[in-house]
Amino acid sequence: MSGSPGRPLAGTRPFRYDLRMSLLLVDTLRFARGWLRPRTTLREREVPVLPEESSTPVPATLVEPSESGPLPGWVVLHGITRPGRAHAGLLRFVRALATTGRRVLVPEIPEWRDMDFAPARAQSIIRGAVDQLASDPDSTEGGVVLLGFSFGAPQALVVASDPAFRGRVRGVVGWGGYADLERTFRFLCTGRHTLNGEVHHQRPDPYGRWVIGANCLPLVPGLKGSRPVASALRALAVEAGERQVMAWDPSLERVRSQLRTGLPRTLRGLFDLFAPPDAALPPAESVEELTRTLAGAARRQLPLLDPLGTIEGIRAPVRLLHGRSDQLIPCSETPALARALERRAPDLEWALTGLFAHSGGASGVGPVARMREAIEFGRVLGDVISIGES
């Protein structure tokens, strides 16, 4: 995975492929077995998590082996998705991870289920979950690993960079995250991104545009009447999540059309920039100004969305992964993030894989290439699972 086009950047290291890997093989095989068939002896229960500076708990799912502890603890964050911690792919990953002998806590972030960025609220919940699992006597001393998927990846990095959490976060993993808001927004409008100096084209997932519009349109000063459009885009994203279908599924076209019809005629053009008919791309001439405006408003009013503007340093080990075929956040964001963090995070490694993307699928490769990817991914996975452990 560290070969072209996922070549490691100067100053960062690829995942280590040395004799240490033989010690990690057991965990990798356990994870693979748990992915295919999770252990029936896993304990899975709902527990309350108290967010930082809050007296109202949120629900969380704790999955752990039946054997007595203390065992290494992991806090895993879902992304902006309607199922939240109940997402089928997330649960499958969590159960496979618990099969390796880890305790895994997945806090619910209700705002993310409602398609709301809410970074300050998310930070409060994440910090509360880390504190709770790290202080649990059934967890190994020395802190927990914090893993964020998608939108949760940069939020995990922000928590790990806080000096107050040194000793409580022993490692941080970002899977499918982003480095730059404007670049990510532009990809979702155009399908273009740059990797290793080459321009790549992919069909972007319209869901990302809907969520961005829902959150960022109300932040733009002087944009009159944008709130009804934002509400319509949120409703469209929620419907896709409720149905558990891809955003370009034909069944959503009727929903999109009805939401558009419900808007005043003067606002339908703005709605069409985010949700054109049949999941098409918006007009190219409107994209540059649109992405600059939205990203600028988000940075000013929600600075926690910009990880590179918040992080000064991360002393814990950092591992970054991304699926090459990702249609929501382009894979080029992970090497860009690694480049930006290389002086702030001394123990940082990253990799791209053809096996996983936001949809949980794989890129279109043949069986030989897939076998090669699987072997390489197994090596990477072993290093990730053991992050922060001696």
Q: What is the 3-state secondary structure (H, E, C) of 300-358?
A: HHCHHHCHHHHCCCCCCCEEEEEECCCCCCCCCHHHHHHHHHCCCCCCEEEEEECCCCC
Give the pLDDT confidence of 58-75 residue by residue, as tens digits: 999 999 998 877 999 999
- pLDDT at residue 103 above 80? yes
CA distance linking residue 390 with residue 383, whole number of Å: 12
> Can you tell me the mean pLDDT for 9-13?
44
Kindly write down the DSSP assignment for every residue of 53-72, as one continuous string.
T-SS-EEEEEEE-SS-S-B-
Per-residue pLDDT, 10 = 39
The helix (run of H) or strand (run of E) holding residue 274 is helix 265-274
Averaged pLDDT for residues 92-103: 91
- Residues 332-341 have a mean pLDDT of 96
pLDDT score recorded for residue 290: 87
pLDDT at position 356:
55
Q: Mean of the pLDDT values across residues 116-137?
A: 97
What is the pLDDT of the chain when averaged over all its residues? 87
Q: In this structure, what token pair is assigned to residue 58?
A: 């949120």
Answer for the pair 357, 326: CB distance below 8 angstroms, yes or no: yes
Q: What is the mean pLDDT of residues 340-362?
A: 77
Mean pLDDT of 106-115: 97
Of the chain, the percentage scoring pLDDT greater than 90 comes to 68
CA distance 240 to 252: 7
How crowded is residue 21: how many other Cβ atoms within 10 Å of its Cβ?
17
User: What burial letters (b/e) apply to 252-280, b meaning 16+ CB within 10 Å?
Assistant: beebbeebbeebeeebeebbbbbbeeebe
Say if residue 373's pLDDT is above 90.
no
Percent of the chain past pLDDT 70, that is, above it, reads: 85
Residue 287 has pLDDT above 60, yes or no: yes
Using the predicted structure, report yes or no on whether residue 363 has a pLDDT greater than 80: no
* Amino acid (one-letter) located at 238: V
Q: Which range is least confidently modeled, 10-14, 74-78, 265-269, 314-318?
A: 10-14
Do the beta carbons of residue 333 and residue 184 sit within 8 Å? yes
Helix (H) / strand (E) element for 125: namely: helix 119-135
Average pLDDT over residues 260-288: 91
The residue written with tokens 């005043």 in the block is 264
Residue 385 pLDDT? 82
In the chain, the domains with their CATH numbers are 20-180+306-385 (3.40.50.1820), 209-302 (no CATH)
Average pLDDT over residues 31-51: 83
pTM of the model: 0.88
**Cα 320 to Cα 83: distance, rounded to the nearest angstrom:** 24
Q: What is the mean pLDDT of residues 8-26?
A: 49
Average of pLDDT values for 243-252?
91
Instruction: State residue 11's pLDDT score.
Output: 41
- Which three-class secondary structure state does DSSP give residue 160? helix
Who wins on pLDDT, 288 or 31?
Answer: 288
The arrangement of strands across the sheet holding 103-107 comes to: 43-49, 58-64, 103-107, 73-77, 144-149, 169-175, 318-323, 348-353
Residue appearing with tokens 């990809």:
187
Q: What is the pLDDT of residue 367?
A: 58
Tokens of 325: 């075929």
Task: Specify whether the CB–CB gap between 30 and 100 falls below 8 A.
Answer: yes
325: CB partners within 8 A, 6+ apart: 202, 331, 354, 357, 361, 362, 363, 364
**pLDDT for residue 353:** 84
Identity of the residue numbered 388: G
Q: How high is the pLDDT of residue 34?
A: 72
**193: pLDDT strictly greater than 70:** yes
pLDDT at 24: 57
